[in-house]
Chains A and B, each alone.
Chain A
Amino acid sequence: MGGLQIPMTHVLLLAATLFSCGLLGLMLRRNIIFMLMSLEVMLNAAALAFVAAGAKWGQADGQVIFLLILTVAAAEVAVGLGLVLQIQRRFKTLDMDQANRLRG
């Protein structure tokens, strides 16, 4: 240990801020690409919280989960971008408010 310690609360506050930014972006943006980016931000906010918690208690689990989240995010982006391509091809737009054909 030693060196400059960042207080736990700061890290968690940062994670919460990032998560809220992502959430707001997800709810407010209409462009599917920006929605995907917002999702990434939320995932990384969660990952940051795990890393911080892992450092706090000196456990490796935090970093393990971080790696898992990284993988999930990569997979999600792969699928998500594929869907984006399809949406662009079918609807000729990336505005998700236009793609509402499953309306009941």
Chain B
Amino acid sequence: MAIWLIPFLPLLSATLLMVSTGRMPRSLTAVLGAGSVGLAALLVALLAQGFLADGQVREVTLWTWMAVDNFTPRVAFYVDGLTIVMMSVITGVGFLIHLYSIEFMWDDESLCRYFAYMNLFVAAMLLLVMADNLLLLYLGWEGVGVCSYLLVGFWYRDADNGKAARKAFVVTRVGDTAMALGLFLLFTELGTLDIQPLMVAANANWQVGDTLPIVATALLLGGAVGKSAQLPLHTWLPDAMAGPTPVSALIHAATMVTAGVYLIARNYQLFLLAPPTMQAVAWIGVATLLLAAFTALAQHDIKRILAYSTISQIGYMFLALGVGAFASGIFHLMTHAFFKALLFLAAGAVIHCLHHEHNIFRMGGLRTRLPVVFWSFLIGSAALAALPFTSGFYSKDAILLSAWEQPDIGPWLWAGGLLGALLTSIYSFRLVFIVFFGEAQTEPDRQPGWRMAGPLLLLCLLSLIGGWFALPLSGVFPENGHAQVNHSVEIISIATPLLGLLLAYLLFLGRQLSIDKLLASPTGQALKSFCLSGWRIDNLYNALWVRPYTNLAHWWRNEPIDQLYNAVVAASQWSHRTLLGLQTGELRWYATSMVFGLVLLLAIMLRNAT
């Protein structure tokens, strides 16, 4: 079976759409855009079936990319269980989102551009997860970054969207630079970038706790932190919500932002050599999930709440990776892709049916008006909050359990994760109660059609049953069987989301508890605005980096060497203005000037002759 076809199909479609520059009929654009990803999903399904039957790792080399001395990266694919899981999520969820996009973006004049970028994104993301060497992975890594930039700034006529796109690009670029340095270090030290030989070489040359693997993994972690929007590089993701909602669902929830998790999982043997980095991963995860969950509590833009919740959920994945539970991290990645895509698509349907309203306090009472969307949102929120028997429950539970079993720091990590789970439950049901219950503020002017409802229903199903999927990861990651399951720990982690649900009910629907008085007090006000602004981290970065940088740029604009060139410009402009007066456009003036010039020349010649 031709594995190369899988990333090639979306790439081909993206190329066709770009070349057509919108002259294609809209229906053909939609068929091509969604169809190519659908076909890729079908091929992935066949591939997965074959893989589950024989369990063989598939390696395909297409050609040697370049050959410089002993540096010969190939364009080659390496497909094992981890890759299969990632490919299924990318093409499966990706296809549903593409289908949904057809209806969501139908009235947009740039439908063709939209699908071209989306297909290009899917191709780049597939390249990222299928690459057998880190250089090809880096190509996909940058490719998805570019597509994210293009799609965040999709409605580029609004300058704010452009700024959000630029921010997303620049902030992730900080992490990418660290990652590039990490790749350089790995290549100079180990002499290869092919992932499997690299792992063997790393294990042969380095001991656990050596400095070099710590530095290399810390640099790779920098890239992962940037791409996956973790502390301290998480500020771009909430602003990235400026893009169309299906883009947020695909790129900023289901696939691209989890690339950092994939990177660490793919190179886990390297990370196992560096216990301090692993601890850093876990702590970054916990800190991020708490910060983002607190921030999500105070937001009032429906998409920003979901964005912060994405940051928080990726924090859980990092926590899982940090405590060595790689399979649980990837499991949560998959379930999160299901329920977060579902939530974003449902939010998109609300926005679509409500005249582009984003503020949750101007929604309300949509339970009876948009029933399909309501049930989707409810199921998505239940999975997000990890209510029992939803997919999110199984994955989050596994993560918390692994954190608990960690020696020394385990209980702290577990407590952090548990507090996060409580907050997650509160903010997700706050969202449900405010948007779908209570008084109606805005009447919907349309109902979602089948292209929107179909993907929603399928994702509902996946969010419910996704927890029962057995992922083919046993051959990829080392087994860490749970020796004895601590029942009190389990009961607490089951009870926490239910407690959160109860609190959210009492606060936002039943109104038995009131926080109005607290919010009205000066401390409450300050706390609320502190949370609303995302702990003022944006302000901090603006003061620390952005403003000094722009000031420096302004200052350098007047540097001395430029003055020289400016003088040339000024001189030519001055002579232009002066000589312009001679160009009167009057024939008689020209004739007279010629006569006087001639007379003058003759006079000079005659004087010299005598």
Name the one of B579, B583, B587 contacting A96, with C-beta atoms under 8 angstroms: B587
Interface-forming stretch among B104-112, B262-270, B411-419, B588-596? B588-596
Q: Mark B573-610, 1 if CB is under 8 A from A, else 0.
A: 00000011111111110011001000000000000000
Secondary structure type dominating chain A contacts: loop
Residues of B within 8 A of A90 (CB): none
Q: A26 with B591: in contact, given A96-B586, A97-B586 (CB under 8 Å)?
A: yes
Min distance, Cβ B578 to any Cβ of chain A, angstroms: 11
Residues of A within 8 A of B582 (CB): 104
Name the one of B584, B591, B592 contacting A103, with C-beta atoms under 8 angstroms: B584
Contact status A103-B595, CB under 8 Å: no
Residues of B within 8 A of A104 (CB): 579-585
Q: A102 with B585: in contact, given A23-B595, A27-B595 (CB under 8 Å)?
A: yes
Q: A97 with B580: in contact, given A23-B595, A27-B595 (CB under 8 Å)?
A: no
> How many residue pairs, one in A and one in B, have C-beta atoms under 8 Å apart?
36
Min distance, Cβ A40 to any Cβ of chain B, angstroms: 15
Residues of A within 8 A of B595 (CB): 23, 27
Within 8 A of B (CB), among A1-58: 23, 26-28, 30, 32, 35
Contact status A27-B585, CB under 8 Å: no
Residues of A within 8 A of B591 (CB): 26-27
Residues of A within 8 A of B588 (CB): 26-28, 30, 35, 96-97
Of listed B579, B581, B585, B595, residue having the most chain A CB within 10 A: B585
Alpha-carbon gap, A35 to B589, bound state (A):
13
Name the one of A26, A28, A32, A101 contacting B585, with C-beta atoms under 8 angstroms: A101
Residues of A within 8 A of B579 (CB): 104
Within 8 A of A (CB), among B320-379: none
Min distance, Cβ B583 to any Cβ of chain A, angstroms: 3
Alpha-carbon gap, A57 to B582, bound state (A):
44
Residues of B within 8 A of A100 (CB): 584-586
Min distance, Cβ A35 to any Cβ of chain B, angstroms: 7
Query: Which residue of A has the minimal Cβ distance to B598?
Result: A23
Residues of A within 8 A of B583 (CB): 102-104
Q: Mark A79-104, 1 if CB is under 8 A from B, else 0.
A: 00000000000000000110111111
Min distance, Cβ A42 to any Cβ of chain B, angstroms: 11
Query: Which residue of B has the minimal Cβ distance to A103?
Result: B585
Min distance, Cβ B384 to any Cβ of chain A, angstroms: 69
Alpha-carbon gap, A30 to B587, bound state (A):
9
Jot down 11 A-B pairs with beta carbons below 8 A, ordered by A: A23-B595, A27-B591, A35-B587, A35-B588, A97-B586, A97-B588, A100-B586, A101-B585, A102-B585, A104-B580, A104-B581
